[in-house]
Chain A
Amino acid sequence: MRVRDLTISYGGEPVLEKVSLDVDEGRFVSLVGPSGSGKSSILRAVIGLQRPLSGMVEAAPARLHVGILFQDDALLPWKTARENVALGLTLNGMEARRAHAAADAWLERLHLKGLGDRFPRHLSGGQRKRVALAQVLAMKPRIVLMDEPFASLDAIVRARVVRDVVALVECERISVLLVTHDLEEAISLSDDVYLLSQGPRARITQHYPVPIPRPRDPVNTRTHPAFAPLYERQWADLSREVDNRAEAA
């Protein structure tokens, strides 16, 4: 999938200007940048929830093969975990019984066996996140857009959910475009990291390939020799970007 010269405005000055990035098949790509730089708007434009002022998304898979994981779980509170996971399948014509069987298989794969009858309110934050992930993966997406999906989880739960996500996308060869402001998370998960400047008129200012081999364990990745230099470089670039914008203001 190629994003080309994407410019997004909410009426006044563009939030993002001429943003271009590539997400090749099976690659895990992260987009980092300061808060308010419009990172989420790129994902919303890719999936069709936001109409860009100009630019385009090329070679994107068909709409149904693009999944999105929001920062909050966005599960329907009146549906059980099983019904939530099966929702995308039934909306696209699958018979309910088959969809529920597929949902149960995904719940088991995401360590939620036996919790299919629970409503979201009766699940922990980590369990809800896994249900949301199962809902997206059940649709067999070729690319998953992730909008800071792990931000609300505590450290231990977050590490476990992230490990499972990495294992699943590596196994299924799913491409991922992750939006985050966490540099450590971006490096430990990604094959490519793009740096977005401070908005308004935010742009991609750097592209960092991550030379850490797969398969990866996101926790141990932080001890890889390539991690620290890359983190320091990204941190310096991001700090400079924020300082430049503050001076300009």
Chain B
Amino acid sequence: MLLAPRYAWLRQLAAFAVVLAVWEAAGRAGGLNPMYAPNPSRVGAALVDLFADGRIWPHLQATFSAALGGLALGIAAGILLGVVAALVRFIAELLEPVMTLLNAIPRVILAPLFVIWLGIGVASKVALSFILVAVLIFFTVFTGIRQVDRRLVERIVTLGGGRWSLVRHVYLPSVATWVLGNLKIAVGFAFTGACVGEFVAATHGLGYLLSFAQSTYNAALMFALILLIMVVVLLIFAVAGRLERRLLRWN
């Protein structure tokens, strides 16, 4: 019965628990160097410490502000530029090579440049999240509009609709569909930008704490922070997934 496909989550959970138990036992038996691989119990204690004294909250706030700010601005700019480039050939000729170049390079290499331009505050982290998200959304919208279903366009035209009707009934819903379809990837990009930006130069944020843990060889804190970032992103994925299911309920 436990081998049924619907109990896959239970088997995965059990396997995870076994890995943790073996890891813990190996650590306690002295088989693992705590400097590189601290016991799960020590990671858990580090995580509890972060919340117990409340010092994690300003860091969480800093990372969330940068990631969500970059996400919102990146989505808005990506949609705007994607729509304009898809509709105006002259703009496409200017924008497409720049966006292609930005898409081709690992955009996190821009982090030090943003620190020079915008300082070590939240602005440079927002900028990095923004550039990661905006390029993704630009190509989503730009290629999406160019490949919009011609049959739907012709249907609106034959029913007597004009340009505005096409935008309202075909292009906008199509754009919303493509953007929502890429929302989870965009969320991941936004947090990557925020954390990498904080890692490079910051005074707050989960990336800053990671950098601190690295410089002090505090592997337990580092594992705790990685775990925390994973949980935070998974929670946002869940929210994005619910939003996607709700808004794309027709699909």
Judge: A and B partners, yes or no. yes
B152 touches A (CB below 8 Å):
yes
- Is the CB–CB distance between B173 and A139 below 8 Å? no
| Per-residue contact bits, chain B 6-24, to A (CB 8 Å; 1 contact, 0 not) | 0000000000000000000
- Is the CB–CB distance between A76 and B159 below 8 Å? no
- Is the CB–CB distance between A119 and B155 below 8 Å? no
- Is the CB–CB distance between B173 and A76 below 8 Å? yes
Chain A contacts of B156 at CB under 8 A? 87, 91
Also in contact, A76 and B152, with CB within 8 A (given A119-B250, A121-B250, A121-B251)? yes
- Is the CB–CB distance between A70 and B151 below 8 Å? yes
- Is the CB–CB distance between A76 and B155 below 8 Å? yes
Which listed residue (B165, B173, B251) contacts A91, Cβ 8 A?
B165
Q: What bracket does the count of chain A residues touching chain B fall in?
A: 20 to 34
- Is the CB–CB distance between A72 and B151 below 8 Å? yes
- Is the CB–CB distance between A78 and B173 below 8 Å? yes
Residue in A closest to B168 when the chains form the complex, CB atoms: A91
Q: What bracket does the count of chain B residues touching chain A fall in?
A: 10 to 19
- Name B's interface SS: helix
Also in contact, A76 and B154, with CB within 8 A (given A64-B160, A91-B161)? no
Residue in A closest to B169 when the chains form the complex, CB atoms: A76
A78–B151 Cα distance when bound, in Å, is 14
Chain A contacts of B173 at CB under 8 A? 76, 78
- Is the CB–CB distance between B154 and A74 below 8 Å? yes
Question: B180 → chain A, closest Cβ, in Å?
Answer: 11
- Is the CB–CB distance between A74 and B155 below 8 Å? yes
A77 touches B (CB below 8 Å):
yes
Residue in A closest to B177 when the chains form the complex, CB atoms: A78
Question: A62 → chain B, closest Cβ, in Å?
Answer: 10
| Per-residue contact bits, chain B 126-154, to A (CB 8 Å; 1 contact, 0 not) | 00000000000000000000000001101
New A-B contacts (14) at CB < 8 Å, excluding given A79-B250, A87-B159, A139-B159: A49-B154, A49-B158, A63-B160, A67-B158, A72-B151, A74-B155, A77-B251, A78-B250, A87-B156, A88-B159, A91-B156, A91-B161, A91-B165, A119-B250
